[in-house]
Structure 1
Amino acid sequence: MSSAETAPADPSADPRDGAPQFVLPLVVRLEKTAPPARTDALETAARAVLTLLADERAEGDGAWAAAVRDWQDARIRKVVRRARGAEWRRACGLPGITVTGATAEVRVFPPVPLDGWPKELVKLQVSGTELDDPAAPAPPAPGRPVLWLNPGLGMSAGKAMAQAGHGAQLAWWALDDAGRKAWREDGFALSVRTAGPERWAELTSSALPVVRDAGFTEIAPGSCTVVADHPALRARA
């Protein structure tokens, strides 16, 4: 799987690079006999990020709050790794939250220093895995958030999972308290879909949150990867 980091148009000028760098680890369960569907894995990863951000341990004086603040003060790096069998069981023994989809299981952990991964996670593989959808995803549910992927970028499953997590996080930051509460009560329902070219042009010219990648892996720096189309944000755009 892969990593993703948000970036401004000129990453070299970003003052966040002077801060200590943290990363949000996500681990997707990938058993040989039952891999998850790609779209479900992307959606589950996005919901996992939201679930951690909304957790009381990540807020105020919570046990994870300082790590979350340090992470958000720098680039919001996310790294997706894969595990199966005993690897997955060891990962589940660490503090974190497991979020399940129709076919996917993703565990999200509180942020860790970029070079300070727990030993149970550091050896998990990052690259070399791809996921497929057994059938074309259904149209997004009307009236609910959609994280639209750039149709012109070919991203690995891990890269796309991290980018979907970024999109969900930018939407969360942009919402007011009432919007966050409503989304939480709806179980962080969302869809991840690839936009058509014309739709993508419309989305990127709107005032909706746009993820721009830092370009450390797979794609060029500053590439627009995801637009977070949340109905509450569209109403204000």
Structure 2
Amino acid sequence: MLEPLAARYATWLGLPAQSTVDTSDEDPATVRAMPLVLRIERQDPAPRTALLEAAATASLAVCLAPEAEPEGEWHEEIRLWLDNRIRKVSRRARGAHWDAVQELPGITVSHQGAQVRALVPGLVAESPKVLSRLQISGSELPDDTPGPPPDDRPVLWLNPEVEMTVGKAAAQVGHATMIGAALLPPADLARWSDQGYACAVRTATRADWAKLHPGPNPATAWRERRVAAVRDAGFTEVAPGTVTVLFSWPH
């Protein structure tokens, strides 16, 4: 399902820094996105890191679910989304609103006290009311200190020089798991599937970021170090061309 991403990855990273995406010809009625619904309760909200890890897993799980396969009921919607600009929109929900979105097609991931539901992508203009009434803003959570990442799963390293809301970061780590899965050989992807697509999210130090960054040759970085990058289109919060997340597969 994710093969188109592998083909586009190197081309996109090879663009000049601060490249913009021309959307002048885009009809708003045709814009598609994957909604990510983050459960953020008023009292005792989930830790930021756990929420991002759940979002990263849920985003990929929808794309690789049995329903996404050629004969599955989600296949056409996901294919149409992947064939265009790959957008995600994060929204927050609590209480009855969280319960209501469980009725929409998608996958909920629960992880260390956090819950995220990734929904099947669709036309933004045709979002059901139960979804469109959920707020996009106001989903900020304080940074936490999760400790060193486990060594048995991929790590999604956040750019230490870029500030992102939890909603923006959730979308970016979701992009990262999708790119990583698109590039992995079948045996590694199968092993990751057996782990439920578990991953770790951490903020890199500036020194580690510089060491990990693929630089001008992303194909070599992936082949030799199993590192891939998410380069943002600049629609929200960050400048076009910003590398927001690095996906690092364990050796």
Q: Same fold (TM over 0.5)?
A: yes
* 1:45 paired to 2:55: yes
Q: What is the SS of the residue equivalent to 1:43?
A: helix
* 1:230 paired to 2:249: yes
The separation in 1 between residues aligned to 2:171 and 2:139, in whole angstroms, is 14
Q: What is the SS of the residue equivalent to 1:80?
A: strand
* 1:108 paired to 2:118: yes
* 1:219 paired to 2:228: no
Q: What is the SS of the residue equivalent to 1:115?
A: helix
The separation in 1 between residues aligned to 2:54 and 2:195, in whole angstroms, is 14
Q: 1:27 to 1:13 in 2, by over 3 A?
A: closer
* 1:82 paired to 2:74: no
* 1:127 paired to 2:137: yes
Give 1:144 shift: 2.0
Give 1:13 shift: 6.1
1:27-68 CA distance string (max 9 Å, x none): 011111121100000000001012112201011121000011
8 Å Cα contact 1:28/1:106 also seen in 2? yes
The separation in 2 between residues aligned to 1:223 and 1:50, in whole angstroms, is 22
Unaligned 5+ residue runs, structure 1? 1-5
**Stretches of 4+ moved more than 4 A in 1?**
16-20
CA RMSD of aligned residues (A): 2.2
1:1-237 mapped onto 2 (5 Å cutoff): 8=12, 9=15, 10-12=19-21, 20-133=30-143, 135-205=144-214, 206-207=221-222, 208-231=227-250
Give 1:12 shift: 3.5
The separation in 2 between residues aligned to 1:11 and 1:62, in whole angstroms, is 35
How many residues of Structure 1 are paired with residues of Structure 2 in the alignment?
Answer: 225
Q: What is the SS of the residue equivalent to 1:209?
A: strand
Give 1:132 shift: 2.2
The separation in 2 between residues aligned to 1:182 and 1:47, in whole angstroms, is 14
1:91-113 CA distance string (max 9 Å, x none): 11212211101111101110011
8 Å Cα contact 1:17/1:75 also seen in 2? no
1:152-182 CA distance string (max 9 Å, x none): 0011111111111111110011112212111
Give 1:129 shift: 2.3
Name the aligned partner's letter for residue 147 of structure 1.
L
Name the aligned partner's letter for residue 186 of structure 1.
Q
The separation in 2 between residues aligned to 1:150 and 1:42, in whole angstroms, is 14
Name the aligned partner's letter for residue 220 of structure 1.
A
Unaligned 5+ residue runs, structure 2? 1-8, 215-220
Q: 1:187 to 1:152 in 2, by over 3 A?
A: same
- % identical aligned pairs: 44
Q: 1:85 to 1:13 in 2, by over 3 A?
A: closer
Tell me the residue number matched to 1:3.
none
Name the aligned partner's letter for residue 210 of structure 1.
A
Give 1:137 shift: 1.0
Which TM-score applies when normalising by structure 2?
0.84
The separation in 1 between residues aligned to 2:206 and 2:229, in whole angstroms, is 16
8 Å Cα contact 1:17/1:74 also seen in 2? no
The separation in 2 between residues aligned to 1:13 and 1:128, in whole angstroms, is 28
Q: What is the SS of the residue equivalent to 2:126?
A: coil
Tell me the residue number matched to 2:5.
none
